[in-house]
Structure 1
Amino acid sequence: MRIKMGRLAALYLVLAMLLSLFTACISPSTEVTSYPIEITDQLGRVVKLDRMPQRIISLAPSNTEILFALGLADRVVAVTNLCDYPPEAKEKPSIGGFTTTNIEKVIALSPG
């Protein structure tokens, strides 16, 4: 009985490994977003974007990491003083902290 349970467990393990192998091989979606697009923000307001943003100011370290990971570092024009990863983010101008954002500097950088 113990041998049968061991074989059954081994079979489940092999099936799980095969399933994870096949799901890892699925290619990601290459769907292209067409503009203009409308997005609803957290306050329920509809924001219309006529084109992909070209000048981005990141207001959170997590957003900075995502933007750099997506290959959009060239579009990031400023970050907060807490954005230190990836190391290249420290080379971008700082607009202050999350609660001490320099609004005049944000306006001068013309995000959009």
Structure 2
Amino acid sequence: MNIVKSLVIFIIAGICEIGGGYLIWLWLKLDKPLWYGIAGGLVLALYGVVATWQSADFGRVYAAYGGIFILMALLWSWKVDSFKPDKYDVIGAMIALFGACIIIFFPRNK
């Protein structure tokens, strides 16, 4: 699969996963209305669908998602929750992202 297309799918899936989880968090932790939780559940279900658009095997895709989502979660927290990642957050996210890229994009012998 084209690397750019794959990265776009990872980003869409990450927004669904983090956004859906965030809506449920707001509902349960910050007493937002029930519709936040319902919307969050629907967005999380959409995440499950978007993940299937990747061409790699299930285990490899989900392992790579882990590294990419670490970075996306920090970016979400920074932009949405005004959380300021420190240098260790950034270093850890970069290591995870590098590992995710090795898992999903490095060529394999078949």
Whether TM exceeds 0.5 here: the answer is no
Q: What TM-score range do you get, normalising by the shorter chain?
A: under 0.3
Which one has the bigger strand percentage?
1
Which one has the bigger helix percentage?
2
Higher relative contact order (CA 8 A, sep 6+): 2
Q: Which has the larger radius of gyration?
A: 1
